[in-house]
Structure 1
């Protein structure tokens, strides 16, 4: 039997150590002064091999043991890696996007300018020229070159005091469908115009030469003579034109008329009487005059050399022999219609 087995069975030192170990494993003593228990650290080997190693000194020092466990605890106590901040991710994305835009801008500026071919330039010029011609044609359709003459004539006639006074009695008759001309024939607000100007409406708007506005009712309507009479509401003292008792003009007699052609207001013009003419839709003959009549002149008063109203403009006509002429209804038709409708 080896020395190690001898030490296990009968060695006096071993018996003493066992006794000391049993004393250390004694039950916990209760303190007589408190209810607390005092516990001692107990270390109990499971096998004699461990005990032999202790007896021979083959164990770690207490300081080394505590130091190893300290490192292990510190390693366990390391905080987990913090999750990535979404704001940082957004900032990174914006920076990348800004860099991409800057690179694209730099490439665009560095690229040479695009040059059009000769065919493309020619096509652009042709399209531009066609647009200019179309615009010019449209303007000519609205305002013929001959229309510039009546503006010049109107400026000359307007220098006369009689014409200036007459223009104050000429009004604009406005409906949802458009506008035409009318004129005041009595100071209490009686207005004469064409039937086709107010057709379809019993109440219209009237604009005076000084831009005053009021409403007027259609009190008389004569489609067979293309005439209509309006009565203004609560209006008095309006400047008015005097009407002739009958139409007595002859061929070649001068006339003047004032209206609102081509969106102009208060345009005065002049012409000469040609003669009577029958037109479809009207019972009695109308009068042709050699004068520049345009759209918007409908309802304009026709005045003789004495300043009396002898008729009312209602249309323009391209005559086979006379060319472009103006047509007006003689004032006799108003008297006849009123007499028949009493």
Structure 2
């Protein structure tokens, strides 16, 4: 959140890695000029990076504060002074970085309060970044007695728990430098973290089951989606007691593109003719489920058109008796 911003510069995605854009605060010398960063969970913050410029509008003195809630109370951590460095204008292109280290902050929320600039009407700078570590990652390493691998994790770029979802077997071996005991520990830690962090809360159909389909024919593929990172087993159940063929249990697979986990079901056929509601549920937590809003209708499938003519002929002969 941000107390003030220009119409053209949204303050909701400041840590975007783009130092060619800029943030503008238009209320000069006003203590209400602030930004609150919400990291979503506690982070251990050791420093902040300000990407700036050499214009009079450049941020000068700023204060960092922390709190347990956006409503406060807020506690002052440090006051810093940024220099005029970089391009002559804040919108002239790429800014220059200034790093401020020495912080020891553990907080989910950090407020940056703008105290002054270098004489301009408004305060503008090109970007903000933080040096830090997801505190839950450190707690996880402590839990599994892996703090001696702390620097290895950091050097490989793993600073958030969610980074661990990208770790593969080769990464684990590199992290542990071939130590078999540590490989086993890290593998166990990753499995435990994934289960704890990525708990399934709901299910939905991505591609819903088809509404009408011939008896005995395989249904087109349909998908069930769950929370990001979840790898729960999902099973199917059917209201109407049909005869079912096919694999009815699949595991959710994290999909990086969509940000969800997906279980795909194919090769399933239903009989006899009738209407069946399809339900998908978590094997571990059956109370988490989803079912089709309308039943799938299985209809009679006539293989040979000649059979249709024969059937009508038989009916006609019966009616003429």
**Quick one: higher RCO (CA 8 Å, sep 6+), 1 or 2?**
2
The structure with more helix, counted as a fraction of residues: 1
TM-score (norm 2): 0.17
Question: Higher Cα Rg: structure 1 or 2?
Answer: 1
The structure with more strand, counted as a fraction of residues: 2
